[in-house]
Amino acid sequence: MSYEVFARKYRPQTFDDIVGQTHVTRTLKNAVAQNRLAHAYLFVGPRGTGKTSTARILAKALNCTQGGPTVTPCGKCDNCREIAGGNSLDVIELDAASNRGIDDVRELRDNVRYAPAKSRFKVYIIDEVHMLTKEAANALLKTLEEPPKHVIFCLATTEPEKLPITILSRCQRFDLHRIATNLIAQQLQSIATKEKLTLAPAAAHAIARGAEGGMRDAESMLDQLVAFCGEKVEEADVLNVFGFTSQQMVADFVGRILRGETADALALLHEQCEAGKDMMKLMSDTIAYLRDLLVFKVKPDALSDEASAETRAAFAEQAPLLETDRVLELIDQFAAAEGRMKWAPNKKLHVEVAVIRAIQTLDQTTLDEVIENLNALRDGNPAAPPPNRPGGGPVATVADRGPGVSDAGYKANDSAADVNEIWGKVVAQIKTRRPFIKSWIDEARPLGASGRNFELGFPCDQRMVMEHLSSRANREFLEALLKEISGREWALKFSLKENLPAKAPAAKSKNAPAIVREALEMFKGEIKT
């Protein structure tokens, strides 16, 4: 006997065998049990979700000789076996992609009036019905609306929008959904058990994600993997054969972006590129992961059927790193980059630019935050607490560093006093070069240095001051001044610290409108952009 592929060998044979389409199977079972049968059904859905299989099972339920019509066809009688094998005289399957002309439909219309050869009903299953020509679709209309009592039509399509409204209105429509990832993984494990295969759970989930909701695609992929690696399938085999990226890698990649680790994120990107991974697939996986992270932030239990326990744990760790609107911005930016990549010869370049831009965006103050704090100051209230920012954790002070020399050449045995001395010289220069920002500089505290980073801390009630000083123009001025005084490159980092008292409490006596006017002047350039 010739080999039978998994997609055919494990094709659903009863309503209960259909995975992930309970809303369809329950309705059809009730219709059969209550004898409330329509004359035409339309099954709509992505490839491999069970459209044609559902039509075949319905035909078996109607024509089973063991108590039919029945919701549980026996699968053993002649009618059931002939329908399952595709050679029943009374269940006619047509492929509208290759039989799409008006002559084909006229032949069907002529044959409809003949009674079934040995069954109760004559069932016509027309696959990819949207491929019928306009003339053929019009020729089918009358027969589809008023077929003989012994005829039932089952139409299947992946593109219902291409069907004439006149056909849609004559059918009961059932929309089959993409099958949840966890359900596909469970079915693959069931097949592996029956075939005496060892399928790693991570491998099953990788196949299920790659199948994108199609059970038939997942079964075909498993078939190919068994041919490649034998009776034991690991996640690495799935990634190597199909060029996928592991979910753990995508989680790590997104985590580095959310934490503002530009160098580490690009290093991981280059590693995947060198391994031959598809950059378009990596981008789409990143967008899908961010989408799932967004859903998790809104409703954590919504992904119970889609994400593995490990992925949900990663979501729980990363969700507090940024607000919902920031996730939406990231999705928009990566989606725009994905659109540009379709026509670009150097796809890696676009991914790199998207990563760098995304991290820069996360570190910027939004206009909504500016307006919110301006309103708070105007009303005499303290500024809102800062949102989570990538790389917002404390920077180690010089005194905390171990022996040796840092990657930027700053000696660990230099004391924190050196940092304070450098900053004192910066403040002195500001008084003569940019006196109009002196009052804000007075609120800054040098917290320490780590590598190239020079961190300034601000009291929590001075958030607006920190935002002003971290604007592009002021940041570049301060970094240039630091370089001039210390003789080396610095990258300023700004953060709010609860344990820092305000230096100039008298500033609180200012009236609110004056503060608002000063703040508006500070952000004038940013608001215009």
Residue 408 has pLDDT above 70, yes or no: no
Q: Is residue 1 part of a domain?
A: no
**Is residue 474 packed enough to be buried (19+ CB in 10 Å), middle (13-18) or exposed (0-12)?**
middle
Mean pLDDT of all residues in 286-302? 89
Q: Do 384 and 518 fall within a single domain?
A: yes
Rounded to whole angstroms, how far apart are CA atoms 73 and 15? 9
Q: Is the peptide bond before 69 cis (omega within 30 degrees of 0)?
A: yes
**pLDDT given at position 268:** 92
Instruction: Give the domain CATH number at 235.
Output: 1.10.8.60
Q: Is 392 helix (H, G, I), strand (E, B) or coil?
A: coil
State how far the alpha carbon of 526 is from the alpha carbons of 371, 465, 513, in Å: 12, 14, 20
Average pLDDT, the chain: 82
Name residue 370's amino acid: V
Q: At 285, which amino acid appears?
A: D
Residue 102 lies in a domain: yes
Among 362, 397, 420, the domain-final residue is: 362
By percentage, how much of the chain surpasses pLDDT 70?
84
Q: Are residues 143 and 220 in the same domain?
A: no
pTM of the model: 0.64
**148 contacts: CB under 8 Å, gap ≥ 6:** 112, 113
pLDDT at residue 55 in the model: 94
pLDDT band at 503 (very low <50, low <70, confident <90, very high): low
Confidence of residue 371 (pLDDT cuts 50, 70, 90): low
Considering the domain architecture, whether residues 185 and 308 belong to the same structural domain is answered as no
Q: How confident is the model at residue 494 (pLDDT cuts 50, 70, 90)?
A: confident
Domain residues for 43? 6-175
**Banded pLDDT at 291 (limits 50, 70, 90):** very high
Cα 354 off chain centre by: 16
Position 421 in a domain: yes
Last residue of a domain, one of 362, 378, 408: 362
Q: Which two tokens stand for residue 232?
A: 């034991």
CA atoms 470, 474, 476, 478: torsion sign = negative
Q: How confident is the model at residue 380 (pLDDT cuts 50, 70, 90)?
A: low
Please count the structural domains in the chain: 4
